[in-house]
Chains A and B, each alone.
Chain A
Amino acid sequence: GPKVLQIPSHQIIDMGQMVTLNCDPVSNHLYFYWYKQILGQQMEFLVNFYNGKVMEKSKLFKDQFSVERPDGSYFTLKIQPTALEDSAVYFCASSGRTGGAREQYFGPGTRLTVL
């Protein structure tokens, strides 16, 4: 089936540094998402991105977070500066249909460790 790729698979950084997580979504998809999952806990919605804009974001999407997809390339999540509580697995997802019930395709996740 369609594949979503995420780079890197694991990132270790020091608190206060900037990190960029990269997502290569399914090629004809229009909607993009980031989720955060702390080990053993549930998936938490962060943000939904469509047509170059953030459509909706949750309270977890702090001011230090930003997303973009320049020129149809990677869909990125940038955290600047990072905090210890940002340690988690971040999943990217994409979906293609406009409106209605859209299933999402998820990447394998990027494990972020903030020291």
Chain B
Amino acid sequence: GDSVTQTEGQVALSEEDFLTIHCNYSASGYPALFWYVQYPGEGPQFLFRASRDKEKGSSRGFEATYDKGTTSFHLRKASVQESDSAVYYCALGPYTGNYKYVFGAGTRLKVIA
């Protein structure tokens, strides 16, 4: 079945550090790819998406580029802030004949001031 792999379970950074969270996917179709962010006690919040190869999604200084060749959608931010501390989920979404979303295991980001 379809799957999403996030390499890092936890990431600890200092403010203004560069962030990369790796996301690789496997799907039998051509899915949309998403990043969500979850703060303690809340449900995940949509960050951004990309629907086709080479498309870049971005929001709040975060960005990721859909790479069909390497089946990746890595999350990056040039300069993190303490308020970015949260759990980040990569997900793949529906495509023809499939209505299911598949989430990665999540990456817990802790930013130290």
Contact = CB atoms under 8 A, between A and B. Distances in A.
A91 B49 contact: no
Given A93-B43, A108-B41, A103 B34 contact: yes
B45 A106 contact: yes
Given A101-B32, A101-B51, A103-B34, A91 B103 contact: no
A104 B34 CA distance: 10
Contacts, number: 58
A58 B2 CA distance: 12
B46 A103 contact: yes
A102 B46 CA distance: 10
A103 B105 CA distance: 18
Interface in B39-85: 41-46, 49, 51
Contacts of A14: none
B43 A48 contact: no
Interface in A85-111: 91, 93, 100-109
Task: State the 7 A-B residue pairs at the shortest beta-carbon distance, nearest first.
Answer: A106-B43, A101-B32, A56-B99, A103-B46, A42-B105, A55-B99, A43-B103
B100 A91 contact: no
A65 interface: no
Interface residues of A, number: 26
Interface string A9-46: 00000000000000000000001010100000111110
Contacts of A58: 100
B102 interface: yes
A101 B73 CA distance: 15
A102 B43 contact: no
A22 to B, nearest CB: 15
A109 B39 CA distance: 12
B105 A45 contact: no
5 contacts: A43-B44, A45-B103, A93-B43, A103-B34, A109-B42
